Amino acid sequence: MPPARLPRPLILASASPRRAGLLGRLGLTFSIVPSEVEEVRRPGEPPEEFARRIAREKAFSVASRVGSGLVIGCDTIVVVDGEALGKPSDEAEARRMLGRLSGRAHRVISGVAVAEQPGGRMEDAVVSTKVWFKTLAAGEIEEYVATGEPMDKAGAYGIQELGMLFVSRIEGDHNNVVGLPVFTLARILEKFGVRWFGR
């Protein structure tokens, strides 16, 4: 793993094992302090701004509770027909979401933000990836929902797990679909003095 020099402790404001796994693959040492931000979209709020705002709120929320650190906040949503799909509340909603994604393209949008403490400086970005689903038979949806995999994932699928069987192609950052746009995050961290490969 490439060693990275961190000017401050790194903190991930998320309990997502997928985000922690991607961040760990960068060879970074970090702690996890989940945020308690409610992910509610405001009336008329564009999906990109919704994801950006929640990411910033998560980063700020945790940064305000720590003495020193670079706090990473992230929010990922699935957007189809202009509607943001979050995590399904139950199996019936998971089936409806998968039915809407079947045989068509959708966008996966992530807001990612880094807040510095002390100082309060924040940098953020929004990343969008286009994903195409194959046409799903009713039985496929039913059996996939029965695995339980869709229940904690935006849009009711996980591209890094069995959900990959539904994805015919993607355009953009694959890691963004998993839940953390690593390339963009690395560029943000560089603005705070994080260096890769001895740079």
* Residues marked as catalytic: 75
Q: Are 86 and 154 in contact (CB under 8 A)?
A: yes
Question: What span, in angstroms and rounded, lies between the C-alpha atoms of 163 and 141?
Answer: 10
Question: What span, in angstroms and rounded, lies between the C-alpha atoms of 143 and 147?
Answer: 7
- DSSP per-residue string spanning 114-176: EEEETT--EEEEEEEEEEEEPPPPHHHHHHHHHTTGGGGSGGG--TTTGGGGGEEEEES-HHH
Task: Report the Cα 39 to chain-centroid distance in Å.
Answer: 13
Task: Report the Cα 114 to chain-centroid distance in Å.
Answer: 14
CB-based burial label for 49 (10 Å; 0-12, 13-18, 19+): middle
